[in-house]
Amino acid sequence: MNNKHVAVIGGGIAGMEAASVLARQGLKVTLIEKQANTGGKLNDWDHLFPDFSSPEVLVNSLATKTKDSGVNTVYNTEISRIERAGKRFELRANQDARFYADAVLVASGFNVFDATIKEEYGYGLFGNVITSVDFEKRMKKHGQLHTIQGTDPKRVAIIHCVGSRDAKVGNTYCSKVCCITGIKQAIEISEMLPDCEVFCFYMDLRLYGSKFDSLYLQAQKRHKIQFIRGRLSEAAERADKSIQIKAEDTLQGRPLRMTVDMVILLVGMEPGASTSQLIQKNQMTVDENGFLKSANVHCARNQSTQEGIFMAGTAICPMAVNETIENARSATTEIIHFFENRRP
Amino acid sequence: MNEPDMETKTKIRWSEYNKEIANDKFFYLRSCIRQNFNPGAEKVFLSILQNKLGKEVYDDPHHTTCSGIGYHSDIVPFETFQTMVARQFSLMTERGYKNCAVSCITSFGGYNEVLSTWKEFPEELEKTRENLLKATGRTFEIPENLSHACDIIYKFRKEIAAQAPYRLINKETGEPLKIVDHIGCHYAKIFPEKGVGGSEYSRVLTGMIEAWGGEAVDYPERRHCCGFGFRHYLIKNNRSYSISASRKKFESMQPYQPDMILTNCPGCNMFLDRWQYALAQIEGKVYGGKNGIPVLSHEELAALVLGYDPWKDIGLQMHQMDVEPLLDKIGVEYDPKLKFTGVKGQYINEPEFTGCLARTD
Amino acid sequence: MNDLSFLKPASRQIDFDNFDDRLLLYVLQYEPSFFTCISCGGCTATCSAGNLTNFNVRKIGLWLRRGETEKLSEEIQKCMFCGKCTLVCPRDINIRNVILLIKKRIAMLKNENSPA
Amino acid sequence: MEKLIILPFSIGFIYLLGILGFRFVKWISGLSRLDKLRLIHSLKTRRFFDSLQEVFMEGLLHRKIFLKNPVLGYMHMSLAFGWFLLIVVGHFEVMVSRQSLIAPIYLPVFFRYFETGHSFPLAGIFSFLMDLLLLFVLSGVALAMLKRFKKQLFGMKKTTRLKTGDRIALLSLWMIFPLRLLAEGMSAGLYGNGSFLTSTLGHIFGNLNSETANLSLWTAYSCSLGFFFAALPNSRYMHIPTEILLIFVRNAGVKLKKRNNTYTNIQVFSCSRCGLCLDNCQLSAAGINNTQSVYILKNIRNHNLSDEQLFNCLLCGKCEVDCPVGINTIDLRITQRIESTRQYNSSYEYLEDGPAPKADTVYFAGCMTHLTPGIIASMKKLFQLAGENVWFMDEEKAPCCGRPLMLAGQYEAASKLIANNTRKIIGSGAKRLVVSCPICYKVFKEDYELANVEVVFHAEYILNLIRQQIITLKKGADRIIYHDPCELGRGMGMFEPPREVLRATGKVISIKNEKQMAHCCGGSLGNLKISQPERSLLRNQAVEDYLQYRPDVLATACPMCKKTFSRHPGLKVQDISETVVQALQSKVQPKAVIKKAKSNVLEAELI
């Protein structure tokens, strides 16, 4: 079994975890990462929910695990084509490098929703409208949150469901992790700027995980964060760069207007650009949301519709960090199982 | 086709919305409201096109209302509306014109609606052809290009700027005039791709302002409806809805102290002008300017910049809000005494007072 | 001059930039648990007064949060103080105390602007 | 010249009399006309002697404190009764020595100073008695000093802090009798007019005895008396004179009204801030230590009473039971709540006045019982078995009984509800009103005028069913602890009926904290400020106590107590009605059906 070679596409936490586990099982593993370093989206993340832990620690531990287990990692290589070559697969990358593998694990992750598509929210037009990803980047880089005028915001609005559950942008699914991220960021803001009013505009608060609801209670009780049930309709910049936002307080059934210093859009997860690239060229199919389609949503979630090609992590559907790592591990068992009962 | 020339800060997403505007040989379709409330505007629009831009535009005396007011007030059924529009087009084909120049925003919306209905449902086109034939014995061709008057002014704004003796600059301070714009809803909100710059950040008026030296001020309620909406003002007890909408806009633009409001729709022009007076009477509050913010349409502003006479040519005395402060800022020569003297020099009467509140000085 | 008052320009928009939060701040100061209200309506459902007329405890909380003081001072008079709302609240908010504080603040405000 | 020594004493004494006179007159004149008549009338009747007897038993002997805490009792008794005897015997001594009934009031105080001789008849006996009494009082003073520093010895967990006024009065009080001892010792040494105590002290002084020392000691004694009298009016010792007045006024039948009047002042100034009401107040278990009655009385006196304190009290009545002076702490607090909420207005126009169906018995479950449907189900079953024509008045909709409004001090608003309910109950022509909630029971019993309708608590009703064998119960082996609801036990004095009912179904265990001293479950509607976590601390305190007795069932007779206790994990809580229905023998056939409540409120109006 140990002369089998697995190619793992995508060096995010799913890819790294799967690669290291497979390698430790004695398989030859090549990890192909399109960027200069592994870690994927977590590299520019500041704190993780629900325990505000540091993603750097997680990425470093995964990186060392991958290195120690003898995984051959290839950087700056983006796979554009998977061809079936007999019983094996031929992977063609951008600089027409070639990789041959007995099984392929697609862990190409997700794309952050491009908030400029929601033009009426003014992302890309108004300096003080940022996304949750921008927020994490800024906090990681400067450790503080300033308006573009350089002042401390006195009032911040956090908008839920931007690019998710929205037919207008073609993503009708729920990205699952934005609600709790919003609450986490709201708490971070109010801890950093105690006299800053924070409002969360939501349709439904989907706090599915353990400790999520207690974080919500803590946000309300200790940090005085106000939750308004109503979807943001439009944002407009005022002369002093503050943003006037309009929504409906649906619990009262009345429109509401408010001027805030900053707007944070909780952008959802979209199917990764690379998966779409892989899809056009060969037979991998996608589900109605554009994520990779599992052979069976219950018992073969990591198997794609193509025998020998597997998937892990947010390439399948929106997932939190802990779910992604678990999903990666379940993918490795599928692969090992696949090798075992395949007669040479 | 003119290349997209985006000068101002809004830089993205507009490439898809840059519509095609015809170059010459326009068939003018008048606006019921504009020719009744500001007749000068239409006269001066034709004069600009013919005399200043050397374009050929034909004002056919036989064309009628597009019946948009009736259609939007649920009095005129859609079929009749299509036949009326078809009749206008048949007049055009008779005269051999292919490009429409529409004066009214509502009819512009209506024509677009009819044209796209015909494109989507060809059987509607056939039915309209039969109706028109039955009713008037006329046939018609679908025009090649449908542009609104403001599109045309926008397209030739540079040529107008070149010939313009005045600039939208405050004579004393040298500062560009702060001008807020209001785009008629039916211009780009029904068919975003039919408006210059789409529905969110429409460029058609801001383009003119900046071309003529002014500063286009973006205020939060810029996209809010002016409240004109036929159903809202036709019936008396709906009018509070109409005035409340305007009020929200005035509240929002007040902090910017705009020198004037630029509109492209006759209805918005009239209501943003009159409702300032009504609000002042009810609430005693003036939202800007000495005694109200002057409201001009795109033709009037173009004519003003080109040096037409404010009273005799453009007919600005029809406005409720005083335009004199604006004229003084730009430095336009005008004779205050001639404001209410008719073409033959006779006194044509005047309202009890102009502006928002009766002057006590 | 013709009377234009029939026009009645108005706006139903809640303006967060300036709303009367004197009642809200007072209540939040003495009953911070009110912050955690998620408007689930459990209180309205069990309310004895709400059983007899269209009195809505949840709306009281919302009006408080949006500074609707006039409507609040009328509506609050219907409460019978039976305390069932406090017994069912999933967030353990002492709603009966919130009602008491509202009435207290209304009385204080009435005294402030008409001390005679 | 030596007359000067009486000066500080007399100034202080006259000042005290002046203040007390002024206050007493003000208070008495402030009473309502009816109360004044009651007072005057009571002086002429046996009640006068009852009051005197109570003054003696409570004012001097402090019987109530003795029952609760003998050491504390002795301390108070020795001080109060001892001083009283000193004055009385002193006067006799003077009268005998002067052979005249009248003598200057200062003389008994300084007798040993002026009466240097020892020649009048019975002088020896008198001086012996005086020394004995002085020793008696001194023992009290010593105990008082000890208590102030080591209060645990007296079994008191907490005591109150001393305000400045108190501190001066306390120090001067402590100084009086030691100085008297020294002064009399000096005089005995000089003139030999002392007895066993003072003369021995005289010998000890030996050559220190001198006229000047004698004079200075007696002046110091006089000054300490003067200071004490001067400091008394605005110190905790104001309770000494005021309590006497309180006893007379209370025995005259004067009650606290629904608004502050001078009787409130009498009660407030009768508080000696002894702190006995602190120990049993359960709120301290929840870390609340500034709302107990002693602090409220102090705030009322200083006019700085805040709502946060006033409404943060369970109104469980334990402090009223503990108060040695017998202050009506509950009614006093409710009167302050009425004053504080006087400006709140409520309007209940929406209450409708539909025709009430005819019935023999009306059952009013009450708001809380709707949240414990088990009780309603059991009561319906019992009514069925009893074959009563029962109108379940508030099955679908009815106003609250009004008691929670009263607990929040809004009596005027509550009266509107009371009027509406009364009309319906009387309108139904029922003979009996059964209630299953003590909170309702108290208001129906005390504040409703229901003409000939008899208000029956469901415990009594069930007891009656058992006694008349309308229902027969199987006595199980369950160990049952009965929790006395505050409003039923201390509130209405009903302890036995629920227990008797329970004895018919299982073994009722008697526990230390029951009846008058029962715990409060913590769910009280009386407290509007306490938070839910704090309530659970109170509940836990009660449950931990009950669990020591390893009960199978915790029975109670109040929906609120049941609701509160049922939040505790792993505790079987039942209302007595549920226990009874559980223990029913199934042979009895139900006779009549309970009439559906006709509601004529338009359904549409409610949507």
pLDDT digit string, tens, across residues D288-308? 989 999 999 989 988 999 999
Amino acid at position D267, single letter: Q
Please answer whether residues D529 and D312 qualify as being in contact, where contact means their C-beta atoms are separated by less than 8 angstroms.
Answer: yes
How much is the pTM? 0.81
Nearest neighbour of B220 by CB, restricted to A120, A124, A238:
A238
**In which domain, by residue range, is C106 found?**
21-30+40-113
Sheet holding A98-101, edge to edge: A79-85, A88-93, A98-101
Residue ranges with strand state E in D335-463? 361-364, 390-392, 432-435, 454-457
Rounded Cα gap, residues B275 and A192, in angstroms: 47
Predicted confidence (pLDDT) per residue in D377-405, tens digit: 899 889 998 888 899 988 888 899 999 99
Nearest neighbour of B200 by CB, restricted to A120, A237, A238:
A120
Domain end point (choices D221, D241, D261): D241
Pairing between β-strand A262-267 and β-strand A129-131 as defined by DSSP bridges: parallel
Nearest neighbour of A125 by CB, restricted to B10, B219, B223:
B10
Closest Cα of chain B to A207: distance in Å? 34
Please give the DSSP secondary-structure letter assigned to residue A136: H
Tallying the residues shown for chain C, one arrives at 116
Mapped onto helix, strand or coil, the DSSP state of residue A99 is: strand
Predicted confidence (pLDDT) per residue in D160-179, tens digit: 777 788 888 888 888 999 98
Q: What pLDDT, on a 0 to 100 scale, did the predictor assign at position B10?
A: 42
Q: What pLDDT, on a 0 to 100 scale, did the predictor assign at position A2?
A: 64
Residue C13 placed within a domain? no
Q: Is residue D109 domain-shared with residue D214, that is, in the same domain? A: yes
Q: What pLDDT, on a 0 to 100 scale, did the predictor assign at position D593?
A: 47
Rounded Cα gap, residues D301 and D323, in angstroms: 18
pLDDT at D497 exceeding the cut of 90:
yes
Q: Is residue D279 domain-shared with residue D166, that is, in the same domain? A: no
Mapped onto helix, strand or coil, the DSSP state of residue D146 is: helix
Residue D312 placed within a domain? yes
- The verdict on a CB contact (< 8 Å) between C97 and D528 is yes
Q: Does C36 touch chain A (CB under 8 A)?
A: yes
Q: Which residue has the higher pLDDT, D65 or B82?
A: B82
Interface test with C, best of B221, B233, B240 (most C CBs within 10 A): B240
Domain at D521, CATH number: 3.40.50
**Any contact of B with D, at least 3 CB pairs below 8 A?**
no
Q: What pLDDT, on a 0 to 100 scale, did the predictor assign at position A83?
A: 84
| Neighboring chain A residues of B222 at a CB cutoff of 8 Å | 236
Mapped onto helix, strand or coil, the DSSP state of residue A93 is: strand
Share of chain B above pLDDT 70, in %: 95
Residue D529's closest chain C neighbor by CA?
Answer: C97
Rounded Cα gap, residues B145 and D553, in angstroms: 89
Residue D406's closest chain C neighbor by CA?
Answer: C81
pLDDT, tens digit only, all 344 positions of chain A:
668 899 999 999 999 999 999 999 999 999 999 899 999 999 999 999 999 999 999 999 999 999 999 999 999 988 888 888 888 898 888 777 888 999 999 999 999 998 988 888 988 888 999 999 999 999 999 999 999 999 999 999 999 999 998 887 878 899 999 999 999 999 999 999 999 999 999 999 999 988 999 999 999 999 999 999 999 988 888 878 899 999 988 888 888 899 999 999 999 999 886 666 666 656 678 888 888 999 999 999 999 888 889 999 999 999 999 999 999 999 999 999 999 887 55
Please answer whether residues D301 and D473 qualify as being in contact, where contact means their C-beta atoms are separated by less than 8 angstroms.
Answer: no
Residue D355 placed within a domain? no
Residue D123 placed within a domain? yes
Rounded Cα gap, residues D579 and D500, in angstroms: 12
pLDDT at B5 exceeding the cut of 50:
no
The segment(s) of chain B belonging to CATH 1.20.1050.140 are 22-149
**Any contact of C with A, at least 3 CB pairs below 8 A?**
yes
Sheet holding D553-556, edge to edge: D507-508, D479-483, D553-556, D573-575
- Among the residues of D346-437, which ranges form H helices? 373-386, 403-407, 411-427
Contacts (Cβ under 8 Å, ≥6 apart) of D353: D420, D423, D424
Q: Is residue D39 domain-shared with residue D102, that is, in the same domain? A: yes
Please answer whether residues A338 and A27 qualify as being in contact, where contact means their C-beta atoms are separated by less than 8 angstroms.
Answer: no
Predicted confidence (pLDDT) per residue in D1-56, tens digit: 567 788 888 898 999 999 999 999 999 998 889 888 988 888 888 888 888 999 89
Closest Cα of chain A to B8: distance in Å? 11
Residue D523 placed within a domain? yes
Q: What pLDDT, on a 0 to 100 scale, did the predictor assign at position D92?
A: 85
Q: Is residue D223 domain-shared with residue D119, that is, in the same domain? A: yes
Q: Is residue D167 domain-shared with residue D284, that is, in the same domain? A: no
Number of compact structural domains in chain C:
1
Nearest neighbour of A257 by CB, restricted to C13, C33, C91:
C13
Q: What pLDDT, on a 0 to 100 scale, did the predictor assign at position A1?
A: 61
Domain end point (choices D220, D241, D262): D241
Q: Does C86 touch chain A (CB under 8 A)?
A: no
Please name each of the domains of chain A with its CATH number: 5-109+272-340 (3.50.50.60), 115-269 (3.50.50.60)
Q: Is residue D148 domain-shared with residue D27, that is, in the same domain? A: yes
Q: What is the mean pLDDT of chain B?
A: 90
Q: How confident is the model at residue B359 (pLDDT cuts 50, 70, 90)?
A: confident
- B/e letters for C86-109, b = 16+ CB within 10 Å, e = fewer, are bbebebebbbbbbbbbbbbbbbeb
Rounded Cα gap, residues A59 and D457, in angstroms: 69
Span B305-327, average pLDDT: 93
pLDDT at D604 exceeding the cut of 50:
no
Q: What pLDDT, on a 0 to 100 scale, did the predictor assign at position B11?
A: 41
Mapped onto helix, strand or coil, the DSSP state of residue D567 is: coil
Q: What pLDDT, on a 0 to 100 scale, did the predictor assign at position D445?
A: 93
Q: Is residue D60 domain-shared with residue D159, that is, in the same domain? A: yes
Span D357-367, average pLDDT: 91
Q: Is residue D276 domain-shared with residue D367, that is, in the same domain? A: no
Question: 3-state DSSP helix/strand/coil percent for chain B, to nearest 5?
Answer: 50, 10, 40
Phi-psi region of C9 (alpha: psi -120 to 50; beta: other; left: phi over 0): beta
Q: What pLDDT, on a 0 to 100 scale, did the predictor assign at position B125?
A: 95
pLDDT at B1 exceeding the cut of 50:
no
Share of chain D above pLDDT 90, in %: 38
Predicted confidence (pLDDT) per residue in D255-298, tens digit: 888 888 889 999 999 998 888 888 889 999 899 989 999 999 98
Span D574-587, average pLDDT: 85
pLDDT at B8 exceeding the cut of 60:
no
pLDDT at D209 exceeding the cut of 50:
yes
pLDDT at D603 exceeding the cut of 50:
no
Number of compact structural domains in chain D:
4
Q: Is residue D63 domain-shared with residue D127, that is, in the same domain? A: yes
Domain end point (choices D192, D222, D241): D241
Span D483-503, average pLDDT: 93
Q: Is residue D100 domain-shared with residue D184, that is, in the same domain? A: yes
The CATH code belonging to domain B22-149 is: 1.20.1050.140
Predicted confidence (pLDDT) per residue in D58-90, tens digit: 888 888 888 888 888 888 899 899 999 988 888
The maximal CA–CA distance of chain C, rounded, in angstroms, is 59
Mapped onto helix, strand or coil, the DSSP state of residue A102 is: coil
The full DSSP string for A209-278 is STTHHHHHHHHHHTT--EEEES---EEEE-TTS-EEEEEEETTTTEEEEEEESEEEEEE-EEE-HHHHHH
pLDDT at B15 exceeding the cut of 80:
no
Q: What is the mean pLDDT of chain D?
A: 87
Give chain D's contact residues with C (Cβ, < 8 Å): 307-308, 311, 340-341, 343-348, 350-352, 367-368, 370-371, 396-400, 404-405, 408, 410, 413, 417, 525, 528-533, 563, 601, 605-606
Give me B150's structure tokens.
């403001």
Q: What pLDDT, on a 0 to 100 scale, did the predictor assign at position D601?
A: 37
Residue D351 placed within a domain? no
Q: Is residue D427 domain-shared with residue D520, that is, in the same domain? A: no
Q: What pLDDT, on a 0 to 100 scale, did the predictor assign at position C100?
A: 94
**In which domain, by residue range, is D440 found?**
361-466+591-606
Among the four given CATH numbers 3.50.50.60, 3.40.50.300, 2.60.120.580, 3.40.50.11810, the one describing domain B157-340 = 3.40.50.11810
Neighbours of D584 (CB within 10 A): 17
D171 burial class (0-12, 13-18, 19+ CB within 10 angstroms)?
Answer: middle
Does a cis peptide bond (omega within 30 degrees of 0) precede residue B310? Answer: no
Residue C4 placed within a domain? no
- The verdict on a CB contact (< 8 Å) between D531 and C104 is no
**Any contact of C with D, at least 3 CB pairs below 8 A?**
yes
Weakly modelled stretches of chain C, pLDDT under 50? none
| Neighboring chain C residues of A198 at a CB cutoff of 8 Å | none
Q: Is residue D187 domain-shared with residue D289, that is, in the same domain? A: no
The maximal CA–CA distance of chain D, rounded, in angstroms, is 102
The segment(s) of chain B belonging to CATH 3.40.50.11810 are 157-340
